[in-house]
Amino acid sequence: MRRAHPAFGVNVPSLHGPEQHMASRANDLHSWIRSAVRFVAWGVLFSLVYGQSPLYSSNQNQYFLHGAAQAGIGLLAEDWLANAVDSVPVFTSLLTLTYRYLHEFLFYLYFALLCAVYLYSILRILHPHASPPDPTRRLITLTLLLGLHSAALRFVLARGLGEGWAYLFDGGVAGQRLLGTVLQPSVFGVFLLLSVALFLERRPWAAALALAVAATFHPTYLLTAGLLMLAYLWVTWKERRALRPVLTIGLPALVLVLPIALYVFTALGPTSAQISAQAQEILVEERIPHHAVVARWLDSPTVVKLALISGALVLARRTRLFPILLIPLLLGVALTVVQVLIDSNTLALLFPWRISALLVPIAAAVLADWAAGRLIPWAERRARAIRILCVTTISS
């Protein structure tokens, strides 16, 4: 039996049985390859727009030390700090394998891939089950997102308003953010965004796995992941009104984070109460007060970021995203108030306000998508010009 090819009108034999199965598998493979290439390409583009610093910039030296020492680079293995307890063992393992068997240039690619996860997750959070029906709106939203995350905008904000305003649309309070300009453990926080996207797509087990990935690479995300999981459990209970679905999400999530939680408790636990208290005081008051002391980071940019989150809550009030934003926000604020009232260094070093590093970029994306929607009536009459302008802006 022969059929006409839809594109060329030439009679070609139709496929049956094994031939049809092989053709289907080949098409699936080609589709997967195209998707993977697009994923990597957008990640590279996003990382270029965002601005990635050269290797060993900022505090990257601190996080790369253990991996480089374990890989046998130079005399780093004899360094005292390299023999101290490692707070990010999984991240160190990735570095060690790369140093030993691959090339350090791949660290730039790792960052680009994490940028791809970030951008993909943001877009799926905005439209969990499908792309927006209007391609012009999709392009405007994407252009706005790239603009809000651009190094150029950060430069303008920092020069015009001050350094504290630089990461206004993608950074949380206390100088904490998912993305930085270098590869470090905190960048794996993009899996928190991916978790939210997966949960909104009704894939709760995958969402739990993504939470575990973020916390495993950077244990500081354990509390943030816990706040998100509480939101997931609340939404699941509200929708299902049964305990079993809640347990089938919560228990696997607990099992997934248990290894890194046990490592933190055993390897990084206090040697004595007195030494622990002294170490915590040094960390909070001298080493990282800009991250750990509320009075140091409670400023005007923080107020604006809270306003962004509030605006996103208003826009998302009739969606599943609303409780996922609201519950962690309320819990984070409550724990922050408790920390201020009791002046606990232990709670300060858990960073309950770190949830803002997740909420701010989601809020900025929700507002950007809303703005794109408002522009559609005007843009429809100039769709071609708008698309050219967006593509030109992204390209430049």
Of the two residues 293 and 134, the one the predictor is more confident about is: 293
pLDDT, residue 8, reads 39
* DSSP structure class, residue 26: H
Which of these ranges, 3-17, 29-43, 204-218, has the smallest mean pLDDT? Answer: 3-17
Which residue range is the domain that position 197 belongs to?
131-395
pLDDT classification of 5: cutoffs 50, 70, 90: very low
Examine residue 369 and state whether it is found in any structural domain, yes or no: yes
Question: Residue 87 falls within a domain, yes or no?
Answer: no
Residues in Cβ contact with 208 at an 8 Å cutoff, skipping those fewer than 6 apart: 195, 229, 232, 249, 252, 253, 256
Residue with tokens 């905190």: 186
What are the structure tokens assigned to 259, written together? Answer: 């290894």
Q: In this predicted structure, what is the pLDDT of residue 376?
A: 74
Distance CA 257, CA 131 (A): 32
Q: What is the DSSP letter of 81?
A: G
pLDDT at position 392? 63
57, 136, 148, 215, 385 from 392: Cα distances, Å: 31, 14, 16, 38, 10
Please give the residue that has the higher pLDDT: either 15 or 358: 358
Task: Average the pLDDT over 361-389 and give the result.
Answer: 78
Residue 69 forms part of a structural domain: no
109: how many CB neighbours lie within 10 A of its CB? 17
Instruction: Give per-residue pLDDT as tens, 254-290.
Output: 999 999 999 998 888 777 888 888 989 999 999 999 9
Kindly tell me the burial class for residue 206, based on how many C-beta atoms sit within 10 Å of its own C-beta (0-12, 13-18, 19 or more): middle
| C-alpha distances in Å from residue 281, one per residue of 83, 139, 264, 298 | 23, 49, 19, 20
User: Percent of the chain beyond pLDDT 70?
Assistant: 87
In this structure, what token pair is assigned to residue 374? 């408002």
**What does the pLDDT read at residue 14?**
47
What are the backbone dihedrals phi and psi of residue 322, each rounded to the nearest 5 degrees, phi first?
A: -55, -55
Q: How far apart are the first and last CA of the chain?
A: 52
Is residue 96's pLDDT more than 90? yes
- pLDDT one-digit tens code per residue, 154-176: 999 999 999 999 999 999 999 99
Share of the chain above pLDDT 90, in %: 72
Higher-scoring residue by pLDDT: 177, 27? 177
Closest by alpha carbon to 81, among 100, 95, 94, 68?
A: 68
DSSP string over 352-391: GGGGHHHHHHHHHHHHHHHHHHHHHHHHGGGHHHHHHHHH
- Residue 360 contacts residue 171 (beta carbons within 8 Å): yes
Q: Averaging pLDDT over each range in 13-17, 18-22, 189-193, 391-395, which range is the top one?
A: 189-193
pLDDT at 12: 42
Q: What is the pTM of this model?
A: 0.89
Is the pLDDT confidence value at 375 over 90? no
Both tokens of residue 265? 């408790």
The contacts of residue 245 (CB under 8 Å, 6+ apart) are: 236, 237
Q: Is the pLDDT of residue 6 over 50?
A: no
Q: Cα separations (Å) of 149 from 60, 118, 184, 229? A: 21, 11, 18, 27
Q: How confident is the model at residue 10 (pLDDT cuts 50, 70, 90)?
A: very low
At 379 the pLDDT is 61
What's the pLDDT score for residue 270?
A: 76
**Residue whose pair of structure tokens reads 């405007």 in the numeric block:** 140
Specify if 346 maps to a domain: yes
Q: Which two tokens stand for residue 140?
A: 């405007």
pLDDT higher than 90, residue 4: no
Report the residue count for the chain: 396
Counting the structural domains of the chain, the total is 1
Any domain includes 195: yes
Contact, 186 vs 178, CB < 8 A? yes
Q: Could you tell me if residue 184 is inside a domain?
A: yes
Q: Would you state the pLDDT for residue 74?
A: 92
In this predicted structure, the answer to whether residue 364 has a pLDDT above a threshold of 80 is yes
> With bands split at pLDDT 50, 70 and 90, how would you rate the model's confidence at 137?
confident
Question: What is the average per-residue pLDDT within 324-340?
Answer: 97
What does 98-161 look like in DSSP terms, one character per residue?
Answer: HHHHS-TTHHHHHHHHHHHHHHHHHHHHHSSSS--S-HHHHHHHHHHHHHHT-HHHHHHHHHHH
Mean pLDDT over residues 218-245, rounded? 96
Residue 338 lies inside a defined structural domain of this protein: yes
Q: Is residue 200 predicted with pLDDT exceeding 90?
A: yes
Q: Can you read off the two tokens belonging to residue 138?
A: 């999709």
H/E stretch holding 222 reads helix 222-240
- In a domain, residue 34? The reply is no
What is the distance between the alpha carbons of residues 297 and 305, in angstroms, rounded to a whole number? Answer: 12
pLDDT at position 246 over 80:
yes
